[in-house]
């Protein structure tokens, strides 16, 4: 996996440097980072004892981190065999974004149906903070604001099955972004894409909002795919 767009804005220090007294989330980030960087190859078994030795931790946070990674679709849990790394390639990433794009038709229908001035301002406030973080070069802050924006919209969805699927995919892509980072040009593109969505929501134009959201997904897919090899 590689990034070819220039220097990345770091989202965190090397996870292995900060594992002492950690929560399961930091263990999760360390395991994911090792998967993305190729330390754990697709299909590799992730044994609790081995991971405890690798990260210098007790089994409990390791198990919790593996459960989170399973929920995100990065790790597969097999009966009597434990966890193994699933293949994360361009096809896997493309499938995720394809589903997200399709589900947006329901999400934006519901979000705009219930939108009001307070909702408009909430989205704009979140995006202004994204832009502030962007100018500071704080990629982690941008990732957090990106998640807040999309959650604010998706939380208006009345279809619980759609909401659950969107939450799962958002967890996965957010985790991958934490591991992979962003460069500044992509952050500027995201800002423009977000403002296009917000403007369409303010106009109560479902068709335009959906088109803007799906464009945002396509651009995210293009950017994310550059980090992964094609499926053999």
Q: CA 142 to CA 129: how far, in whole Å?
A: 8
Could you report the per-residue pLDDT of 145-176, keeping only the tens digit for each?
A: 999 999 999 999 999 999 999 988 888 888 78
Q: Tell me how crowded residue 32 is: count the other CB atoms within 10 A of its CB.
A: 25
Please indicate whether residue 4 or residue 177 has the higher confidence score (pLDDT): 177
Instruction: Tell me if 9 sits within 8 A of 182, measured CB to CB.
Output: yes
Going by pLDDT thresholds of 50, 70 and 90, the confidence category of residue 2 is very low
Q: Please, which residues have CB within 8 angstroms of residue 95's CB and are 6 or more apart in sequence?
A: none
- pTM (predicted TM-score): 0.78
User: In Å, how far are 45, 68, 72, 192 from 77, measured between CA atoms?
Assistant: 10, 11, 12, 39
Whether the Cβ atoms of residue 5 and residue 180 lie closer than 8 Å to each other: no
Task: Give me the domains of the chain, ranges plus CATH numbers.
Answer: 15-85 (1.10.10.10), 90-225 (1.20.120.530)
Residue 182's nearest CA partner among 231, 116, 130, 232 is 130
């Amino acid at each position: 996996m590689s990034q070819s767009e220039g220097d990345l804005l770091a989202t965190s220090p090397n996870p292995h440097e900060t594992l002492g007294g950690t929560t399961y989330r930091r263990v999760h980030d360390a395991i994911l980072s090792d998967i993305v960087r190729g330390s754990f190859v697709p299909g590799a078994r992730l044994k609790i004892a081995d991971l405890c030795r690798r990260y210098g931790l007790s089994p409990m946070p390791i198990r919790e981190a593996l459960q989170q990674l399973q929920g995100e679709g990065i790790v597969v849990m097999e009966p009597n065999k434990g966890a193994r790394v699933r293949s994360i390639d361009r096809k896997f990433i493309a499938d995720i974004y394809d589903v997200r794009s399709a589900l947006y038709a329901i999400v934006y229908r519901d979000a705009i149906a219930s939108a009001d001035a307070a909702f408009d301002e909430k989205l704009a406030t979140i995006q202004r903070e994204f832009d502030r973080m962007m100018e500071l070069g704080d990629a982690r802050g941008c990732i957090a604001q990106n998640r807040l924006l999309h959650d604010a919209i998706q939380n208006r969805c009345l279809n619980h099955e759609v909401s659950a699927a969107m939450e799962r995919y958002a967890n996965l892509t957010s985790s991958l972004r934490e591991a992979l980072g962003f460069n500044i040009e992509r952050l500027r593109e995201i800002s423009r894409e977000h403002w296009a969505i917000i403007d369409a929501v303010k106009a109560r134009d479902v068709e335009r909002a959906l088109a803007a959201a799906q464009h945002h997904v396509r651009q995210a897919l293009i950017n994310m795919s550059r980090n992964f090899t094609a499926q053999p």
